[in-house]
Chain A
Amino acid sequence: MKELKDIPKDNPFRVPENYFEKLEGRIISATTDSQHKPAGKGVIRRLIPYLAIAASVALLSIIGYSVFYNGSGLHGSKMSPVITVNEFTETLLNDIDLMTLEDKVAESGILEGTTGVSKGDIIEYLISENIDITEIYENL
């Protein structure tokens, strides 16, 4: 039976002979053949006038739509969300991983004021106790 600490941190990967000696030259010739983009001259900047027009059209459409529906009394069941908050949360939690969970907990500020114990420790402890990630998310 082996332990991780017994395995030396040697690099088991190898490269072809003289690979690194030739590498820098290859990279330099590959990069200097292509132009680097000067700051602020990107595609987005060239598209700004068109984006402004598109945004104006979209804004007018939204205003028109809102005025029409509010005026016609059509805002009712048709405007209700198609899924409930609970359904949405369940769907989200099916896909959530540990790192996302940590970030969400940090963003929510739920653990602010807790002293001496980090949020990572708490989540880690709960996971080690086989508490489901979904449950942790719901109750923290």
Chain B
Amino acid sequence: MDLPRPDSDISKLLRTDPGGGFRIIVERYSRKLYWHIRRLVILHEDADDALQNTFVNAWRNLGSFRNDSSIYTWLYSIATNEALALINKRNRNSALSLDELGSYFATAAEGSSWFDGDEAQIVLQNAILSLPEKQRIVFNLRYYDDMPYEEMSRVLNTSVGALKASYHHAVKKVEDFVRNG
């Protein structure tokens, strides 16, 4: 059985065989990044678009990838930016704003969408949606991905202390929402 290559090996491979190295990156990170983006943009079609853009941008900018950050951190940064760009674009076009997504969960239980959570899950997702943008990202990365604060600090370019405070407040807000929801 092949052992998974560490990121440092992939970084080296990217210099000698960019196509081969990039294929390994896609295999390793596409699912993780999809779920990270999906929790932020909610809709599957949007997540799919943002994920494609993430990898296209990563591929185009392979030359500027520096080994002082890990591939994981680099990709999460690009994916987060792509998701936020999509959310902002959606808000500008107001085709489907974040507020309207609340009703998405309310109707999702009735079927036909890519969401099959129970009533408690709908309340939780609505609670997460009620958070300010930055807190929502921090909450998702910590609560679902268990991302260490140090890693998150590099992804979001924010101090560890600020992230801890942000997560603490996000959890309190979500708990209040769930309790009263």
Q: A36 to B35, Cβ gap below 8 A? A: no
Within 8 A of A (CB), among B38-86: 38-39, 44, 51-52, 55-56, 58-64
A-chain residues with CB within 8 Å of residue B106 when the two chains form the complex: none
Within 8 A of B (CB), among A1-58: 1-4, 6-7, 9-16, 20, 23-24, 26-28, 30-32, 34-42
Nearest Cβ distance between residue B102 and chain A, in whole angstroms? 15
Q: B55 to A124, Cβ gap below 8 A? A: no
Binding site for A on B (CB under 8 A): 18-19, 22-23, 26-27, 30-31, 34-35, 38-39, 44, 51-52, 55-56, 58-64, 114-118, 120-125, 132, 134, 143-144, 158-159, 161-166, 168-169, 171, 174-175, 178-179, 181
Q: Say if the beta carbon of A99 comes within 8 Å of chain B.
A: yes
Q: B61 to A98, Cβ gap below 8 A? A: no
Complex CA–CA separation, A31 to B19 (angstroms): 9
Complex CA–CA separation, A4 to B127 (angstroms): 10
Q: What are 7 A-B interface contacts by the 8 Å CB criterion? A: A2-B179, A16-B114, A27-B55, A36-B62, A37-B60, A100-B162, A120-B161
Given contacts A16-B44, A98-B166, contact A36 B18 (CB under 8 A): yes
Complex CA–CA separation, A11 to B145 (angstroms): 11
Interface-centre pick from A26, A42, A123 (highest chain B CB count, 10 A): A26
Interface class of chain B by DSSP: helix
Nearest Cβ distance between residue A94 and chain B, in whole angstroms? 15
Interface residues on A, range: 35 or more
Nearest Cβ distance between residue A39 and chain B, in whole angstroms? 4
Complex CA–CA separation, A22 to B63 (angstroms): 27
Q: Which residue from chain A places its CB closest to the CB of B123 in the assembled complex? A: A2
Q: Say if the beta carbon of A118 comes within 8 Å of chain B.
A: yes
Nearest Cβ distance between residue A104 and chain B, in whole angstroms? 10
Q: Which residue from chain A places its CB closest to the CB of B125 in the assembled complex? A: A12
Given contacts A3-B179, A123-B165, contact A14 B30 (CB under 8 A): no
Complex CA–CA separation, A120 to B168 (angstroms): 10
A-chain residues with CB within 8 Å of residue B35 when the two chains form the complex: 11, 13
Q: A15 to B44, Cβ gap below 8 A? A: yes
Complex CA–CA separation, A139 to B168 (angstroms): 23
Of the residues B31, B56, B124, B144, contact of A4 by C-beta under 8 Å:
B124
